Every structure is written in structure tokens, then in C-alpha cells.
Amino acid sequence: MSRIGVLPKQMLRELCSSGHIKGIDERYLNPASIDLPLANEAYRLESIFLPLANETVRDLLLCVGATRHNFDNPLEVGVPYLIRIEGEWRLPSIVYGYANPKSSTGRNGFFCRIVADGVDIYDALVGTGWKGEQWVLARPDYFPVLVHPGLAVSQMRFFDGKSFLDDLHTELAIEQHGLLFDGEGKKLSLGEARRHTNSFLLTLQVGENMGWECHGTRKVLDMSQKDYYDPRDFFEPINATNGRYILHKGGFYILTTRERVLVPPNLSAELRAIDPRLGEFRSHAAGYIDPGWGYGKNGEERGRPITLEVIPQEDMLVRDGQMVARIRYEYMKEIPETVYDAAVSNYVDQHTARLSKHFKR
């Protein structure tokens, strides 16, 4: 086990009980991340922004034309909003954090990024002993979205150091558990899996029932609803012939990897931005994968496909087996007390391109 790495649930609970994080209760703690609940303070903006190192987010409200938003009204398509994150945050000196949208956020084309006091990059809490307010910059891109205080659209992981797997430990992890499997559940060896620096490359499944396409609608999606909406009110199913399909600029696509991904309990993983030399598109909106994904309760599973949120920047033909994403593994500081497949989750039986939990199946 790594001496540094991603903090597990039991250590996140310690940050809360020690007073470093206040106002965040147990229901927001995941195997290796904390859901970031929305507070009852939101603003409609003229533009997105980043604070400089000596600025708070509140310092900039006038600069971006902020006007108070009423949570009874949906967020408009294409309009940025700023919503405060609940809680009081004061990190230990060696702890830092990185955020991702939650899966059920990304799968709805709901753009979310975290901005924090004095941090001049998105989705990060960095700096020795960072403290201050966190906010989420939110923008629905394909249909209006209704959110409520207490709802979490992003999650934060905390670290006490970088602990990416080197070549030796990658090979050992493959031998012990497996990391990637083919569609039939056959473990891919280090030589069979394609790699780029410290990441594995993942490929696209193209064929019958390959996913969903959204060009936009005026229908409103309430993020508090579950198993509620008819998918065809927001998305169109995709059936490709001859293992090929054209993705159109301006569209939003829910697709899936051919590979089945497994994250052992001692590791976590994250989808990384694709190299632009492979194409001008965004391969995912969310991207964090908890320890225990595709592992089963006791190691009996052999991975699970990853759902992708693809946004092309130009019309592009895609074919079955085309490289589409990359994934990077790193060590947990400790094995979490609960892993993903043993917890209550909406995606433990995901074997196709799955829409968010808000849709009927």
C-alpha cells in the first residue's frame, strides 16, 4: 500500500470530525471522495472566471455581472451560474483536492467546474493549508436543468501526494487483479493493452444499440428526480451499421468503451483528456472512478465498461475499436472501508452506454 495517495472514506470522515471540514454529513462521503452539496446561494453570470491567488470568489461577483438566482427557476441553456458549496473548508497543510463532475451530472451535458478562493485553476483546492469558500460554475448545454440546495453535482477527491503506478506496479496489478478486460471478460496483459505515458488508451464500441444522441431540447430536467424521465424526451438511441457512425459537431453523445475496466480496492482511477492528435473532441465530462469499480463485492467481477460523454468539435466518422479515451490509475493511501461495488450505486450493473439515474430504463 502506498504511503501517500488518495484519501479513503475513513480518512475523509476524520477530516470532518477534526473540524477541517464542517457542515458535511456522512451521506456525502463516498469510498474515496466527498460529494459537494449546493448551498442556498446562487447567481446568474455574464461570463465564467477564475480568481487570482489573492482574490476570493466573492471579490469578483460584480465583475461578472452576477444577479441572484431563484432555485425555483431552472438554469437556462448556455448561461453560466455560480452556486456556493455548503460547508466550511480548512485543509491540513499537506492535503490538497481535485474535483470532477458526478457521473449523473456529466451524462446530462451539464457543465460544472469548481472555483475556490485564491486558486487560479479550476477544480482544485491547492496551496498550503487551503481554506475558504468553494463554488460551482454550472452551465446546462443541451436542456434546462433544475437544481436544489443539498443536491451534489460535483465531488472532490483529497490527496497527500501523487502516487501514479509505474510500469512495474502496473504489471503487478494486472497479474494480481487485472485492470482492463475485453468484451468477453478476458484479462488484457500489459503487452496487449495500449498505453500512453502513464495512462491506458480505451477504445469505442460502435454498432447496434451503441448509445444515445442529444441535439438539445427545451424540456426541463429536475436533477432531484430518479428513474423518472422517458429517455426519448431528451435523447435519441443510436444504431450503427457496419461498425461505423458519424458524430456531428454540436451534438452530445452517450457512448461506451469496448474494454471492461476494473479498479482494485487499493487503487482509484480517472479518465484524462484525450490527445488532440487523436481527434478534436471531448471524450468525457465526469471521469473519476472509485476503488472497487468492476471488482464486485469480493473480487468476483471482471471489469465493467465505462460510459463516455463525447462532444465532437467537428463532424467525425468513428469506427468500432477506435481510440477514444485514456485512463490513469493511482494508489489509495489506504483501502476504503467500503468499495464502489459493495455500496449502493446507480451504475453497478452498467454494461452498455447508460443514461443518468434520472431516466427510466
- Backbone phi and psi for residue 170, each to the nearest 5 degrees, phi listed first: -65, -45
CATH of domain 9-159: 2.70.40.10
**Would the pLDDT of 211 be above 70?**
yes
- State the average pLDDT over residues 327-345: 90
Alpha-carbon distances, residue 229 vs 20, 49, 72, 254 (angstroms): 39, 33, 19, 16
Give the position of cell 470530525.
17
| Burial category of 43 from C-beta neighbours within 10 Å (exposed 0-12, middle 13-18, buried 19 and up) | middle
CATH of domain 167-342: 2.70.40.10
**Would the pLDDT of 183 be above 90?**
no
**Would the pLDDT of 97 be above 80?**
yes
- State the average pLDDT over residues 250-262: 95
Q: Residue 309: which of 333, 278, 340, 287 has the closest Cα? A: 287
Q: Cell triple for residue 106?
A: 456529466
For the segment 131-154, what is each residue's pLDDT rounded down to a tens digit?
999 999 999 999 999 999 999 999
User: In whole angstroms, what is the distance from residue 301 CA to residue 119 CA?
Assistant: 40
Q: Please tell me if the domain spanning 9-159 has the same topology as the one spanning 167-342.
A: yes
| Burial category of 171 from C-beta neighbours within 10 Å (exposed 0-12, middle 13-18, buried 19 and up) | middle
Q: Quick one: what percent of the chain has pLDDT higher than 70? A: 99
For the chain, the 3-state helix, strand and coil shares in percent, each to the nearest 5, are 10, 35, 55
Question: pLDDT averaged over the chain?
Answer: 94
Q: Domain locations in the chain?
A: 9-159, 167-342
- 218 C-beta neighbours (distance < 10 Å), count: 7
Residue 2 has a pLDDT of 57
- State the average pLDDT over residues 27-43: 97
**Would the pLDDT of 178 be above 70?**
yes
Strands 34-44 and 152-159: antiparallel
Three-state secondary-structure class, residue 315? coil
